[in-house]
Structure 1
Amino acid sequence: MPYARKKMHSGDTHLRRRWRLRSRKKDLDEIDDDLKTNSEQLLNQDVDLDKPGFAQYYCIHCATYYINERALQDHFRTKVHKRRLKALEIEPYTVEDSLRAAGQGSFAQPLKRKTETQPSKREYTEGKRIKVDEVIEEEKPAKQNLSKVPKYDGQYGKILGDLKTPAS
């Protein structure tokens, strides 16, 4: 019987920690602080060219940036986002909770709270500022009405509207 495939090469064990930490996001207590203190600031970030979507599409609950509104709305429907919302329903542990668990004080059940997905960018910033990918209506060139423009015959350069066809 063949052996099971190894997950790591024997010489790559020093890279294991780096691989594990590469996609690490904020912890639940850091996200809870963001939700309590500066959620509005995170939703209305200035344009940053180094971040995906120029930092305009940010999920507060998952602490990730997305390329456009569609990618953000698709993320809201994923299991990863729903699991994160479920985990954020319970308040994160504090230092006092850890002391109570060690025997210094009485245990208090953590409170549950209702968490909802953040509003979409269009709902949240409606009328406040212009998004990067939107074009202002005044800057668009005016459309020409081509129905009144005379048509030219390419061979002789005559206007086709002036030519009269013989009645048959």
Structure 2
Amino acid sequence: MGRLRRSRTHKAQRDIHRASRTRARTKDLDQIQLIDLDPKNRAALEAQPLDFEKPGLAQHYCVECAKYCETDTALRSHWKSKVHKKRCRALKEPAYTIEESERVAGLGREGKRSTWVAATASTPSAVTAAAA
């Protein structure tokens, strides 16, 4: 029969807020880039042991989306989906670093060189190797 309420009610956003509160969160893009896309970790995630608590016994896992699928067919159709392609496109962009976020907030070192560049520039062998 459906809901029995008027079309315009006070706090019409209630359902949206409740859904966002109870929605299962997935991994953030920076977590996937730094941890899951590492070749050792990726191989371990793609070849997980049987787990009866996870969908598809944890055998069909999309590393880029951090999502379990029930069957191999579902995983293949997920790879062709717009959601997966959009996520892969977003993962190609580099993740923000802590230094970048501090610089944007006005806490970073604008005119100073980083310690890594200063350390490599001070050693003559590094300079000659970089020039070659």
The TM-score normalised by the length of structure 1 is 0.53
1:48 maps to which residue?
A: 51
What is the SS of the residue equivalent to 2:96?
A: coil
- Taking every aligned residue pair, what percent have the same amino acid on both sides? 41
Q: Distance in 2 between matches of 1:51 and 1:9?
A: 40
Structure 1 residue 91: Cα displacement: 1.4
Summarize the Cα distance change of 1:79–1:12 in structure 2 as closer, same or farther, 3 Å threshold. Answer: closer
1:70 maps to which residue?
A: 73
Summarize the Cα distance change of 1:46–1:9 in structure 2 as closer, same or farther, 3 Å threshold. Answer: farther
Structure 1 residue 79: Cα displacement: 0.5
> Structure 1 runs of 4+ off > 6 angstroms?
none
Q: What residue identity is the alignment partner of 2:103?
A: R
Unpaired segments ≥5 residues, structure 1 = 108-168
1:52-75 superposed Cα distances (whole Å, 9 cap, x missing partner): 110000000001000111100000
Aligned length: 102
Residue 105 in structure 1 maps to residue 115 in structure 2: no
Q: Distance in 1 between matches of 2:63 and 2:57?
A: 16
1:28 maps to which residue?
A: 29
Unpaired segments ≥5 residues, structure 2 = 1-5, 112-132
Summarize the Cα distance change of 1:95–1:57 in structure 2 as closer, same or farther, 3 Å threshold. Answer: same
The TM-score normalised by the length of structure 2 is 0.66
Q: Distance in 1 between matches of 2:75 and 2:10?
A: 36
